[in-house]
Structure 1
Amino acid sequence: MRLHGRQWTRREIEARIGGIAQIGGVRRLTLTEGREAGTELIEVRTGAGLALEIAPSKGLDISLAQLWGTPISWQSPNGNAHPALYEPEGTGWLRTASGGLLMTCGLAHVGSPSRDESGSYGLHGRAHHTPARSVGIREEWIGDELHWSVFGVVEETAIFGSKLRLTRKLSGRLGDNRVEIRDRVENFGFRPAEHMMLYHFNFGFPLLDERTEIRLPEADREVRAGGPATLDSCASWEAPNPDAAETVYYHSLKREAVGADGMAEARIVQPEFPAAAGPRPTEVALRWSADTLPLLVQWRMPGAGEHVLGLEPANCRVEGREAERRRGGTLVLAPGQSVDYRLELNAD
């Protein structure tokens, strides 16, 4: 294990601590007050500076993310509101969405409220407000490396409707500021099921300020909405503006944007990130499987209070199911068919 600037064996580490939790690890917590009461969290500390709060109550999404004790995620004013308070109609999602590092949008619907012959769909779907089952945590030594993982299952079902199952695993190693997300979405019903998926990563202050640079993959770019907005503003950030309007950009990945491992990458570069030991150049990289997530949606909202950058790998746009059908249709999973997604977050 590499820790505090040098390599250690397992026994060298164990000789210096009373238990591994002194350095890092995984533990389960339950919140007790206000709208958050009853929401379960799983705290992950990597020992190298990255700390995450994973929320089994909310689709195994990631709430607060910190690097060296300083937040890199944007947290919504809703906090980790319990999913029982979720209002699925229209834009009610906005009343209980947690923000945080990751909100999963899907599984049957992404984007603006929509309606079709199967029913009505509220903003961004149900995944972020669906509690996971079969949740587990694991810490395991493999040689001199301590591997951690958090896993579970999220199901979106309806009698006479679609039946989609998300199996999620988040994992990493102590001493390494990296988290990997492996997802599989399966149609376990007996009729074809439409499937829309978007990974809503939310970054905020102080990772974002007027000095921040946003490095995006090679792509064909399009501004969907917002004003004033130009493609030039994709790569920079600005001070809070109470009158700012949200803007959505679509980045359709080019072949040269995809690495040999099939992954695309975007980076946020902060030249003076305020770590505990003092300001330091810091980069946060988001990587994702380009074959199953061919579109990067960029949500830019430099408002006051709502001061957040969304980098959102997706298999669809965000106008909703009706609009997606007009564009050529959503991904349809045949009975028993599944699709795999892989994402990584690296910080240094």
Structure 2
Amino acid sequence: MKAFVAGRGPKLFLDETSVLDIGSCIVNGIDVAPGRAIPDDGDPRIDHSLEGFLFTCGPDHIRHPQAIKGDASGRKYPLHGSYSGNPAEILFWDAQGETAECKARVTVKTAEGGIALLERHVRMDGESGETCLIDRVSNVGSTPFARVHMYHMNIGAWLFDGDVRLSGQMLEGGGFPWNFGEEPGGVFCVPAAVAGEEWAQVMLGPIAALGGVTLKVRFRTDTLPHLQVWRNQRAPAHVLGIEPVSHRWVSREDLAASGELQMLKPGESVDYALRFSFS
């Protein structure tokens, strides 16, 4: 992994072996990534990705495996899609000044035999400490695939005390404690778009263990219109995930039946974007 940092920003380690996702994320000397405090879903690709601070889900499938319709052998879409485990080709890297910047591309073979090209641009503003992740996904093959995408931002929940809260306009009452729901964890998914706003924001904090900072996450809602949040405190897991996502938390069949599961046809592209900072 390559270190990526500028000015006030956290020290990120970008994973060239897996989509240039973020492994360790060092804030005030502490790695906030969950490491091995994660559930084991039986897929080494995803175990590796879940250990880090951010990994990308898609481009053909999100969430847990489901059967590939019409496949005579009974194959399923892979857990969280086909991105994880695909190496990134670095096109540009400058992380020496007050602004760090990186551009890369990743070629991905989808579960149904299509070919996706992910063009990733990561930029960190040293003055504000904000990191911006911009992705363009293009269908460069001859087979359509589902236009689905999710960012998993995973934080080690051992860092949280009782004062840490989730807050955002999309949340009931504007927010609630991080350990929502019943023990040892749970998940919810809500619409995130606000009329007249291009970006949604969710915050997690203050985190006393990190010097009282709050994690602020913003994301484009035209292509990521929902926010999913999950937590898992079933030992050895101790993790909370903030997950901007393209679709509701229902099956592919339900999404298709409601007309929500759009396909990315050969030659088409779609853009996604995420920003985060600790302040």
Normalised by the size of structure 1, how large is the TM-score?
0.69
- The structure with the larger Rg is 1
8 Å contact 1:300–1:310 — kept in the other structure?
Answer: yes
Instruction: Tell me the amino acid that sits aligned with residue 239 of structure 2.
Output: V
Q: How does 1:232-311 map to 2 (within 5 A)?
A: 235-238=176-179, 244-256=183-195, 259=197, 262-270=198-206, 272-274=208-210, 280-311=211-242
Q: How does 1:187-206 map to 2 (within 5 A)?
A: 187-205=139-157
Q: Which runs of 5+ in 2 are unaligned?
A: none
Counterpart secondary structure, 2:160: coil
Normalised by the size of structure 2, how large is the TM-score?
0.85
Q: In structure 2, how many angstroms separate the alpha carbons of the residues matched to 1:312 and 1:303?
A: 20
Residues 92 and 45 of structure 1: CA distance in aligned 2, closer, same or farther (over 3 Å):
closer
Q: How does 1:176-195 map to 2 (within 5 A)?
A: 176-195=128-147
Structure 1 residue 101 and structure 2 residue 101: aligned? Answer: no
Residues 160 and 331 of structure 1: CA distance in aligned 2, closer, same or farther (over 3 Å):
closer
Residues 140 and 282 of structure 1: CA distance in aligned 2, closer, same or farther (over 3 Å):
closer
Residues 346 and 160 of structure 1: CA distance in aligned 2, closer, same or farther (over 3 Å):
closer
Q: Residue by residue, what CA displacement relative to the aligned partner does 1:227-284 show, whole Å, maximum 9, x if unpaired?
A: xxxx99x721349xxx94441101112424x63xx1100001125234xxxxx43111
Q: Residue by residue, what CA displacement relative to the aligned partner does 1:285-310 show, whole Å, maximum 9, x if unpaired?
A: 00000111001011122333311111
Residues 249 and 106 of structure 1: CA distance in aligned 2, closer, same or farther (over 3 Å):
same
How many residues are treated as equivalent by the alignment? 273
Structure 1 residue 53 and structure 2 residue 13: aligned? Answer: yes
After the TM superposition, which parts of structure 1 deviate over 6 Å for at least 4 consecutive aligned residues?
none
8 Å contact 2:9–2:126 — kept in the other structure?
Answer: no
Alignment-derived partner of residue 70 in structure 2: 117
Alignment-derived partner of residue 151 in structure 1: 103
Instruction: Tell me the amino acid that sits aligned with residue 19 of structure 2.
Output: G
Cα RMSD for the two superposed structures:
3.0
Residues 191 and 204 of structure 1: CA distance in aligned 2, closer, same or farther (over 3 Å):
same
Q: In structure 2, how many angstroms separate the alpha carbons of the residues matched to 1:321 and 1:296?
A: 18
Deviation at 1:345, TM superposition (A): 0.6
Deviation at 1:73, TM superposition (A): 2.7
Identity %: 25
Structure 1 residue 345 and structure 2 residue 264: aligned? Answer: no
Q: In structure 1, how many angstroms separate the alpha carbons of the residues matched to 2:120 and 2:105?
A: 6
Counterpart secondary structure, 1:127: coil
Deviation at 1:203, TM superposition (A): 1.6
Deviation at 1:128, TM superposition (A): 2.0
Counterpart secondary structure, 2:81: coil
